Amino acid sequence: MPEPRTPRTSKSHPLRIDVVQAHPGWGLIGMSLCPGKQQVDGLSGHWQRDLGVDLEHIRAWGASIVVSLVEHHEFAELGVEALPAEALRLGMAWRHLPIPDRQPPGLDFERRWAEVGAELFVALREGRRIFLHCKGGLGRTGTVAACLLREAGVGTTEAVAQVRLARQKTIETMEQERYVQAYTLKFAERL
């Protein structure tokens, strides 16, 4: 019988926040996996993280806004139903931009992006830090980080390269990469 996998915890594997920045003086975009993630048989292992410890780490890093890119049902699947309330309790704004796992942003995302994306762009321009996460911190997180860089005037190839240099294996699928390549500026010119 195989040995059970030792869970990865907030103590054994402190939350790693990988960072990109559009321009000197602008705020930072932090990218990571889901804080507080609970997952027994995930592709990346057995996770038993502490939501409070992870959110304190994100706050100490200086995040003013936490952006969850997971879908509604994933909060329960990952055991992080309290994430929105806890982020707010710790003084960080919380925004939800759901994207299906391993997919490019869809209509649900696009409806929210006009408002939330503009808020994130302004925050970055003002020098504030934002924290993006999905389940594993790769596909959805990298895609949205690259789109924010695009809004800030970074070219498509450079945006994808910066995100992948900061966090390996980001923008996981060809569909996600094509989304970034086809991304058109939504609000940078009017803000």
Residue 150 confidence (pLDDT) above 90: yes
Residue 188 confidence (pLDDT) above 70: no
Distance of alpha carbon 20 from alpha carbon 168, whole angstroms: 12
Domain locations in the chain?
A: 8-137
Q: What pTM did the predictor assign?
A: 0.95
Give the model's pLDDT for residue 190: 61
Distance of alpha carbon 37 from alpha carbon 24, whole angstroms: 32
Note the pLDDT tens digit of each residue in 44-67: 789 999 999 999 999 999 999 999
Residue 34 confidence (pLDDT) above 70: yes
User: What are the structure tokens assigned to 66, written together?
Assistant: 């936490």
Give the model's pLDDT for residue 44: 79
**Of the residues 20, 134, 144, 152, which is catalytic?**
134
Assigned architecture for domain 8-137: Alpha-Beta Complex (3.90)
Phi/psi region, residue 127 (left: phi>0; alpha: psi -120 to 50; beta: rest), is left
Confidence of residue 2 (pLDDT cuts 50, 70, 90): very low
Q: Are 103 and 113 in contact (CB under 8 A)?
A: no
- How far is the CA of 186 from the CAs of 54, 70, 130, in angstroms? 32, 22, 19
147 is catalytic: no
Note the pLDDT tens digit of each residue in 101-127: 999 999 989 999 999 999 999 999 999
User: What are the structure tokens assigned to 145, written together?
Assistant: 């980080």
Distance of alpha carbon 21 from alpha carbon 61, whole angstroms: 15
Give the model's pLDDT for residue 21: 98
Give the model's pLDDT for residue 1: 42
Place of tokens 């925004």: 95
Note the pLDDT tens digit of each residue in 154-185: 999 999 999 999 999 999 999 999 999 999 88
Q: One-letter amino acid identity for 178?
A: R
User: What are the structure tokens assigned to 177, written together?
Assistant: 């990469």
